[in-house]
Structure 1
Amino acid sequence: MTKAEQALETRERILTAACEVIADIGFEHVSMRKVAEHAGVSKALLHYHFDTREKLFAEAMTHSFAKTGTDTGSDSDADPAAVVLARIVNSMLPTDEELRQDWKLWQELWVRALRDGTARHLAVDLYDQLHAWVGGTVERGVASGEFTDCDVAALGTLVLALCDGLGIRLMLEDPRVDLATARSTVWRAIAPSLGIAPDFPEV
């Protein structure tokens, strides 16, 4: 392994550890020492890659988003747009342990974004990427004739708003909202605009 490869591997390990620690105890309780210990690196090496907690947090959020925020399956271009959109909805909800960890990070970001301009810009940028992700899939479905023509931007806003609201209820383990209810609620809300069946597809 070259020095450059080793540095990338170390950076990846630190970011993974930071995501896990922040999700576990919250950013306000995170110290650089705790992240370094969890990553199995020295505090000096951690500071070499990330000189402040704030930079580490921002990079951890981006890292987490890059890992789970673009996964729509192994061959999404060949799959029906409705199936890909359903996978996107799935990934925007806390449907497994990895996504529950991501949700905890998002919740930390929301809190910080209320008080910190840098965190607010990061949150808006990540939402822009989510809008583009949803919008690109909808546009593909419209172009292929699978979806009826619609206001793509408005539909993207609706999907994100529903997933945020229902996702919080799932994270709180609200007995009124389970995963099946969350999925069907999103799908029934967007199906009329897309001209598709209101039943959530098999993904």
Structure 2
Amino acid sequence: MARERRRLDRPREQMLEAAMAAITENGLAELTMAGLARRLGTSGGHILYYFGSKDQVLLETLRWSEDRLAPRRRELVGRAAPARERLAAYVDLYLPTGAADPRWLLWVDVWSRTIAVPELRETQAELDHGWHLDLVRLVEDGVGAGEFAPTDTGAFSVRLRAMLDGFATQIVIGVPGVDRDSFAGHAMGYADQTLSIDS
């Protein structure tokens, strides 16, 4: 006898929570529509009704994850603390917690899928832009307070985040010999040099 399919109270949110839980437990390779449906006690067709494709499930899970992290990022950028301390906290928040960090697994997978699915780029760029704006705000605060040397804050953000993206990719895929703390140190070394911060 077929198992009864249950009705979800908050279908989209519950699906996204389940997708992130599946990625956290088993990685992206194990995330299938059938597996997600089993986890939720519903059907694959029900999931596709809300998202349309696995690409959209992944993209919306990434958006959901970033939306949950954004208030924490804005809080650390705006807190009453020295600008360099806030910048170090930003770098720490940006980088993966370690190999197979589920949020970063999603970022890397979505990046790779934009080659074949260009429409994913718009949402990816929108999510990335939030990190850019908060970093620009942080550096502008530091410049205004006299803690940082005047600089092109937009260009600094682009360069620092490109560095962090490269470091993050190596961390999340588990490149041998990679050390998260040393990467964070490299990023802050670049910031110190560019912004003329006393070490």
* TM-score for both structures, normalised by structure 1: 0.79
Q: Give the drift of 1:111.
A: 0.8
SS in 2 for 1:131: helix
SS in 1 for 2:101: helix
Q: Is the 8 A contact 1:92 1:163 kept in 2?
A: yes
The aligned runs of 1:123-134 (5 Å cut-off) are 123-134=124-135
Q: Is the 8 A contact 1:68 1:91 kept in 2?
A: no
CA distance in 2 between counterparts of 1:22 and 1:118 reads: 23
Q: Give the drift of 1:115.
A: 1.5
Q: Is the 8 A contact 2:151 2:195 kept in 1?
A: yes
The aligned runs of 1:35-184 (5 Å cut-off) are 35-43=36-44, 45-72=46-73, 76-95=78-97, 100-184=101-185
Alignment RMSD (CA, Å): 2.7
Q: Give the drift of 1:46.
A: 3.1
Identity of aligned residues (%): 25
Q: Is the 8 A contact 1:70 1:133 kept in 2?
A: no
Letter in 2 for 1:109: V
1:120-164 deviation digits (Å, cap 9, x = unpaired): 222222222221121111111112222221110111011111111
The runs of 5 or more residues in structure 1 that have no matched partner are: 1-5, 199-203
Alignment length, in residue pairs? 190
* TM-score for both structures, normalised by structure 2: 0.80
CA distance in 1 between counterparts of 2:22 and 2:119 reads: 21
